[in-house]
């Protein structure tokens, strides 16, 4: 293998740039040429491919977003689109591809691999929802963005003795809500992995007020329902007025935390090694504190599990 490519796909996440930097520099370290593919699979089809030197990925490890850009690409889901992509890669002399993104991006990577073009997946998403890895790149940054928001909202909640509902991202996964709820000292956390009991929620609110708590914070994962829906349910059920804060897209941006930069670096570097070992169809992950690679199909055929011990602990500690 002489020449590989790297692209970012799907929703961007902080730390993707660290992974891109690692792919480029680790590749160069091993004597490879590395090309950046701009705008994800769309750019791959259109041949938006440029050589990257070590200096081209300098000063990006601290930047949010992705310097390679990302894009939706319905065409790439078709056989014709994938053939175009392979044609472009042949034309540009690429022999392997590192795909940084979520499980949707992995499916595209697997399709290319099956057509004889080896791809390796690196988990980049704030949702932490990729089976086979304990952490994804961007999760830690998003999590800290959420707890900074919770800390700010608690100021005003305490001053005014209010109950706040904070809606956080995570798609179908509750990881962001769970970790943020525990770290933010939330009274109640609603996640898709666990059914909720409206009576219990209301009960906790009332008990908290009774023992003099000046604020209550409820974290709801977008995968359960919207913050406004929950506010309506609580209002209808118990006549309790709440304020809603939908954190939205600030969760996707920002300078990556140290951990996301290290994770991106470790994952990007390992992806290059796996390609060099001639193994396409693998995904990189962190499992029990070790960087691992595993069959990429696992990432979109199995289920991601949230760490429910955090859920239990949060309940015990928010008494």
> Would you say 102 is a known binding-site residue?
yes
Q: What minimum distance in Å lies between the beta carbon of 61 and its own copies?
A: 4
Residue 161: name the closest of 227, 209, 125, 109 by CA: 209
Helix (H/G/I), strand (E/B), else coil: 303: coil
> Would you say 212 is a known binding-site residue?
no
Q: Is the dihedral of CA 16, 17, 18, 21 positive or negative?
A: positive
> Would you say 211 is a known binding-site residue?
yes
* 304's tokens: 């991601």
Q: What minimum distance in Å lies between the beta carbon of 52 and its own copies?
A: 13
Residue 272: name the closest of 79, 5, 37 by CA: 5
Task: Give the whole-angstrom CA distance, residue 294 versus residue 298.
Answer: 8
Helix (H/G/I), strand (E/B), else coil: 244: strand
Q: What minimum distance in Å lies between the beta carbon of 55 and its own copies?
A: 7
Widest Cα–Cα separation across the chain: 70
Report how far apart, in Å, the C-alpha atoms of 216 and of each of 168, 206, 267 are: 16, 10, 39
> Would you say 133 is a known binding-site residue?
no
**Residue 4 or 110: which CB sits closer to its own copies?**
4
Q: What minimum distance in Å lies between the beta carbon of 272 and its own copies?
A: 10
**Residue 123 or 184: which CB sits closer to its own copies?**
184
Q: Single out the catalytic residue among 12, 127, 129, 175.
A: 127
> Would you say 259 is a known binding-site residue?
no
| In contact, 75 and 45? CB cutoff 8 Å | yes
> Would you say 249 is a known binding-site residue?
yes
**Residue 308 or 313: which CB sits closer to its own copies?**
313
| In contact, 251 and 264? CB cutoff 8 Å | no
DSSP 11: S
Q: What minimum distance in Å lies between the beta carbon of 115 and its own copies?
A: 27
**Residue 110 or 149: which CB sits closer to its own copies?**
149
| In contact, 293 and 267? CB cutoff 8 Å | no
Separation of CA 243 from chain center: 27
**Residue 195 or 309: which CB sits closer to its own copies?**
309
Q: Give the position of tokens 């310097």.
A: 67
Q: What angle do CA 255, 121, 221 make, to 5 degrees?
A: 55
> Would you say 170 is a known binding-site residue?
yes
**Residue 19 or 89: which CB sits closer to its own copies?**
19
DSSP β-bridge partners for residue 120:
98, 282
| In contact, 121 and 109? CB cutoff 8 Å | yes
Is 127 one of the catalytic residues?
Answer: yes
Q: What minimum distance in Å lies between the beta carbon of 158 and its own copies?
A: 6
- Annotated binding site for ADP: which residue ranges? 21-25, 154, 185-187, 211, 213-215
**Residues tagged active-site:** 127
- Annotated binding site for Mg(2+): which residue ranges? 103
- Annotated binding site for ATP: which residue ranges? 11, 72-73, 102-105
- Annotated binding site: which residue ranges? 11, 21-25, 72-73, 102-105, 125-127, 154, 162, 169-171, 185-187, 211, 213-215, 222, 243, 249-252
């Amino acid at each position: 293998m002489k020449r590989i490519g790297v692209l970012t796909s799907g929703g961007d996440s902080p730390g993707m740039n660290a992974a891109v930097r690692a792919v480029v520099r680790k590749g160069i370290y091993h004597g490879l040429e590395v090309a950046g593919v701009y705008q994800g699979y769309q750019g791959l089809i259109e041949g938006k491919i440029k050589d990257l030197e070590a200096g081209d990925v300098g000063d990006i490890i601290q930047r949010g977003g992705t310097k390679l850009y990302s894009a939706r690409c319905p065409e790439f889901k078709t056989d014709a689109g994938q053939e175009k992509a392979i044609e472009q890669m042949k034309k540009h002399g690429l022999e392997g591809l590192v795909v940084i993104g979520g499980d949707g991006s992995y499916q595209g990577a697997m399709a290319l691999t099956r057509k004889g073009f080896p791809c390796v997946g690196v988990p980049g998403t704030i949702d932490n929802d990729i089976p086979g890895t304990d952490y994804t790149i961007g999760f830690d940054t998003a999590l800290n963005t959420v707890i900074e928001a919770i800390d700010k909202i608690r100021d005003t909640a305490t001053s005014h003795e209010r109950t706040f509902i904070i809606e956080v991202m995570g798609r179908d996964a509750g990881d962001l809500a769970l970790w943020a709820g525990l770290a933010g000292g939330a009274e109640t956390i609603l996640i898709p992995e666990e059914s909720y009991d409206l009576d219990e929620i209301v009960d906790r609110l009332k008990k908290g007020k009774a023992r003099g708590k000046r604020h209550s914070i409820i974290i709801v994962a977008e995968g359960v329902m919207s913050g406004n829906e929950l506010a309506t349910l609580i209002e209808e059920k118990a006549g309790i007025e709440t304020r809603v804060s939908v954190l939205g897209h600030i969760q996707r941006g920002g300078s990556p935390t140290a951990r996301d930069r290290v994770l991106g670096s470790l994952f990007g570097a390992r992806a290059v090694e796996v390609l060099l070992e001639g193994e396409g169809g693998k995904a990189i992950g962190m499992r029990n504190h070790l960087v691992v690679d595993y069959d990429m199909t696992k990432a979109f055929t199995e289920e991601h599990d949230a760490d429910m011990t955090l859920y239990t602990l949060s309940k015990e500690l928010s008494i």
